[in-house]
Amino acid sequence: MRILITGGAGFIGSALVRHLLVGTDHEVLNLDKLTYAGNLESLASVENHPHYQFVQADIGDRETVGRALREFQPDAIMHLAAESHVDRSIDGPGEFIQTNIVGTYQLLEATRTYWSSLPDERKQAFRFHHISTDEVYGDLHGADDLFTETTPYAPSSPYSASKAASDHLVRAWQRTYGLPVLLTNCSNNYGPFHFPEKLIPLVILNALDGKPLPVYGDGLQVRDWLFVEDHARALIKVVSEGQVGETYNIGGHNEQKNIDVVRAICALLEELAPGKPAGLGRYEDLITFVKDRPGHDQRYAIDAGKIERELGWVPQETFASGLRKTVQWYLDNLEWCRHVQDGSYQRERLGASA
């Protein structure tokens, strides 16, 4: 297939692009605005691949997106472009409304125009795959409750509310216009090339620098962790084999309390990076409990039984194996991390837009 990916320079998007180019014969057009979270260094290994193209564009720019669609002639769109950091959405929700809601609307309209022009056979085969989050479901209260594909939406943050709105738009465009859509809602991703403001990379890099390891509240919030490479494999399964109109929840079967995640990282660093900053006893000594953020959900957990039953996908990594690979990757790729931390990675962004 020819697949247009929005947000392909982001964390999950870049993992998906790498998997498609290395593990399949599909052709990929990566359309990314290159905001702060878009990093072309994450795609250095495939940037010269003969089946890869990159276009810097905003999904809200319908004219540019429409031109890309006409020129590339995709068989599928995988829509990952989004503002995605909860803390940033609390501080400034406007960007989330603009990108996640208005941007998705503009993309849907550009896609509908393109899809309507296709011959019948290609129109039938076309897919619009919208990638979303488990946070649209809100908070789980029972210790054994799980999010299913029919769990009612109850978003808590501006971020999750904007993603919920985009999910509703995608479903409406199928119901009203017949656009052949697929939706996936995933749990917390982690792994290589994760932007350092997120919990796991933040803890790794702060620990190596001897800085505090901030933990919200009591640290007992529970998340279901999904290794990003497993997620990429699931997304390819869905766009290739999923049933039009269906939603598939993707989870790692790895529920962990935030504080336990932080302690597990510290334990791995004791083994893999024993040379600590001067004066530091144990990495765990850096753990610092900070004021909880507003509207912080207590527990997320996904029932991923549907995608296993219908498409045969199961995660390959346990949390222990995936976390070890993640910590080792950061230790081996500190240059990539420093380029993000000092902002120098954005020079590529400026060069791409020149």
Catalytic annotation, pick one of 41, 134, 230, 348: 134
The domain total for the chain is: 1
| 49 assigned to some structural domain | yes
Looking at the domain assignment, is residue 271 inside a domain?
A: no
Residue tagged 């800085």 (tokens):
211
Q: What is the pTM of this model?
A: 0.94
Q: What pLDDT is stored for residue 196 in this prediction? A: 86
Give the pLDDT of residue 197. 81
Q: Which residue has better confidence, 354 or 117?
A: 117
Quick one: tokens of 287? Answer: 């753990």
Asked whether residue 307 is assigned to any structural domain, the reply reads yes
- The mean pLDDT of 17-46, rounded to a whole number, is 95
Output b/e per residue, 149-185; b: 16+ Cβ within 10 A. bebeeebbbbbbbbbbbbbebbbebbeeeebbbbbbb
Q: Quick check: is 159 in a domain? A: yes
Q: Residue 230 belongs to what domain range?
A: 2-190+226-253+297-317
Check if 87 is active-site: no
pLDDT by residue (tens digit) across 40-70?
999 999 999 999 999 999 999 999 999 999 9
- Residue 71 exposed, middle or buried by CB count within 10 Å (0-12, 13-18, 19+): exposed
From the list 41, 83, 135, 348, the catalytic residue is 135
As a whole number, mean pLDDT of residues 294-308 equals 91
d(CA 170, CA 101): 10
Q: Which two tokens stand for residue 58?
A: 């905003």
214 in a structural domain: no
Q: How far, CA to CA in Å, does 168 sit from each of 148, 175, 176, 199?
A: 16, 10, 12, 29
Indicate the SS3 state at residue 29: strand
Mean pLDDT of the chain: 94
Residue 121 reports pLDDT greater than 50: yes
Residue 142's pLDDT band (cuts 50, 70, 90): confident
Looking at the domain assignment, is residue 162 inside a domain?
yes
> Is 139 a member of any domain?
yes
> What pLDDT is stored for residue 353 in this prediction?
39
Summarize pLDDT for 166-175 with one digit per residue, the tens.
999 999 999 9
- Concerning whether 134 is annotated as a catalytic residue, the answer is yes
**Domain for residue 338, yes or no?**
no
Rounded distance, CA 225 to CA 255, Å?
Answer: 6
Q: What are 305-340's pLDDT values in tens digits? A: 999 999 999 999 999 999 999 999 999 999 999 898
pLDDT (tens digit, 9 = 90+) per residue, 190-231? Answer: 999 998 888 999 999 999 999 999 999 999 999 999 999 999
**Which residue is catalytic, options 159, 248, 330, 345?**
159
Among 32-46, 71-85, 97-111, 131-145, name the one with the lowest average pLDDT: 131-145
Assess whether 332 carries a catalytic annotation: no
Q: What is the pLDDT of residue 347?
A: 65
User: What CATH number should be reported for the domain holding residue 243?
Assistant: 3.40.50.720
